């Protein structure tokens, strides 16, 4: 083989190798960028959900504090409940984004948060109904049940935070 043909063949092999390496590197970079984009969207969804939960929980605490009074101001309680309901809707919207972004096991943890929150809300509603009716006989029982359900909700939110951190920390 003459040297010109060998040089041409060498250049062709070198070009093909360079092209192949560039292609492989480009694909790897695209996968890495997609994984980072996915993590960012999930992080935003999870942070939005936790923020909505926080705001709603502050509103729930305000309702519960107002209901613990010996003579609750019912107009104030109703106003605080309306704020709580509006914020609970925001939590539901944020949970929908968490469900869409996934993964499924994290959506399951969000469901446990929703159940714990619903359990606490149920006690809050009963306390409000009792306050409107002037019933005080269940106050000690409701106070103890509220504390128990608040702990359960706190644990569920803690579990969500940990699960979200684990999902975000994964590379894909």
Give the residue, 150 or 26, on which the prediction is more confident: 150
CA angle in degrees (0–180, nearest 5) for 59-63-65: 110
Q: What pLDDT does residue 2 have?
A: 74
User: Mean pLDDT for the chain?
Assistant: 86
- Does position 31 have pLDDT exceeding 90, yes or no? no
Q: Per-residue pLDDT averaged across 51-58, rounded?
A: 96
Beta carbons within 8 Å of 153's beta carbon, 6+ residues apart: 57, 113, 116, 117, 119, 120
Give CA separation, 12 vs 5, 7, 16, 99, 132, in Å.
10, 9, 6, 51, 87
Domains and CATH numbers, the chain: 39-169 (1.20.1420.10)
Q: What pLDDT does residue 70 have?
A: 84
Instruction: Give the DSSP letter string of 78-140.
Output: HHHHHHHHHHHHHHHHHHHHHHHH--HHHHHHHHHHHHHHHHHHHHHHHHHHHHHHT--TTHH
Q: Per-residue pLDDT averaged across 34-59, rounded?
A: 89
Q: What pLDDT does residue 172 have?
A: 46
Q: What pLDDT does residue 3 have?
A: 73
Quick one: tokens of 129? 């109904």
- Does position 21 have pLDDT exceeding 90, yes or no? no
113-125 tens-digit pLDDT: 999 999 999 999 9
Quick one: tokens of 49? 């959900």
pTM, two decimals, is: 0.77
73-96 tens-digit pLDDT: 999 999 999 999 999 999 999 999
Alpha carbons 166 and 144: distance in angstroms, whole number: 33
Residue 134: DSSP 8-state:
T
Q: Per-residue pLDDT averaged across 50-76, rounded?
A: 93
Give CA separation, 66 vs 27, 50, 63, 87, 129, in Å.
58, 24, 5, 17, 13
Alpha carbons 64 and 120: distance in angstroms, whole number: 10
Q: What pLDDT does residue 1 have?
A: 59
């Amino acid at each position: 083989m003459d040297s010109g043909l060998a040089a041409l063949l060498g250049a062709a092999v070198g070009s093909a190798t360079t092209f192949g390496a560039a292609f492989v590197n480009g694909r790897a970079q695209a996968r890495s960028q997609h994984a980072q984009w996915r993590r960012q969207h999930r992080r935003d969804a999870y942070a939005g959900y936790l923020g909505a939960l926080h705001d709603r929980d502050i509103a729930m605490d305000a309702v519960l504090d107002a209901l613990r009074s010996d003579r609750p101001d019912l107009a104030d309680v109703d106003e605080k409940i309306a704020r709580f309901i509006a914020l609970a809707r925001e939590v539901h919207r944020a949970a929908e984004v968490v469900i869409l972004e996934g993964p499924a096991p994290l959506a399951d943890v969000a469901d446990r948060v929703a159940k714990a929150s619903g359990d606490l809300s149920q006690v809050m509603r009963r306390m409000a109904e009792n306050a409107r009716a002037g019933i005080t006989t269940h106050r000690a029982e409701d106070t103890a049940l509220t504390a128990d359900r608040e702990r359960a909700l706190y644990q569920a939110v803690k579990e969500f935070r940990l699960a979200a951190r684990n999902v975000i920390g994964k590379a894909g």
